[in-house]
Amino acid sequence: MGVAGRAHLAVAQLSGLADRLSRVDGGQPPGWLPDDAVIVRQLADRDPWLRYRKPRYQLQMIKDLASLLPPGGCRVLDVGAGSGLIGETIATLFPEKSVTGVDIATNNRHDLRIPFVRFDGRRLPFADKSFDCVLFCNVLHHVRPEVRTGLLGEALRVTGGGPLVIKDHLASAPLDGLRLRFLDFLGNAPRGSMISADYLGEMEWEMLLREVNCTGETLPVSAYHADLWNWCFPNRLEICFRVRRQSSEFG
């Protein structure tokens, strides 16, 4: 699908979010992204499961996330970092960016290449304006609904109002929740990290952003899956966007 087709799909998907998210193609200069082969090698180096198949999903995720990060040197907090795969890969590909991981679970990897901090799932253990950007990568659908608003508020606090770069899912059709649960199972069960999930639709995303008074930009629909995988798990299920708080509360 061409860029125009992807843009059309993005606009159609996010019609309920039009007042919160505008479309953007990323804000990085030409040639900023390493070749796919370089990214794939980095991913496979950090996750043995990815050495036996091309990590198409993770590759696209890195490309989308990186395109929304602040340019140049910046301090990035990866909330829900898990094994550290995404944060480490970004830190390695873009050494000018300082990445810190935080999660509710203890990271048992002894070769972790980024700082890692454990937290209680609600309050981020960092001072105000400690970071330039907060990253949520397939995390918020695993956060209980009653905790999400507060956690985003914490992310806004430690960045002084954003930006927050969020990669997650969009459940906009009756069977999308089942599709996403199975996709989560395929991705997490082999690693023993399967946890409960509550996927957001357009209305839920719009309400969440309204509660934290945020607006921003969304990327067009990206090619996370191809062929049969795209038929089973349509790319419209994936969403990647960047938001900031509208108010001047943080100055």
Residue 166 counted as domain residue:
yes
Residue 162 counted as domain residue:
yes
Residue 248 counted as domain residue:
no
Sequence-separated (6 or more) residues with CB below 8 Å from residue 175: none
Residue 250 counted as domain residue:
no
Residue 15 counted as domain residue:
yes
- Residue whose token pair is 């399967």: 194
Reported as a pLDDT band with limits 50, 70 and 90, residue 121 is: very high
Instruction: Choose between 107 and 207: higher pLDDT.
Output: 207
**pLDDT value at 97 more than 80:** yes
Domain that holds residue 103: 3-25+36-68+76-242
Closest by CA position to 237, among listed 141, 157, 109: 141
Rg, C-alpha atoms of the chain: 17
Query: CATH code at 149?
Result: 3.40.50.150
Residue 249 counted as domain residue:
no
Instruction: Choose between 182 and 165: higher pLDDT.
Output: 165
CA 110 and chain centroid, separation? 24
- Residue whose token pair is 């905790």: 147
Reported as a pLDDT band with limits 50, 70 and 90, residue 212 is: very high
Measure the CA–CA gap between 88 and 78, rounded to whole angstroms.
Answer: 10
Token output for 229: 């995988």
Residue 230 counted as domain residue:
yes
Residue 247 counted as domain residue:
no
Domain count, the chain: 1
SS3 of residue 180 by DSSP: helix
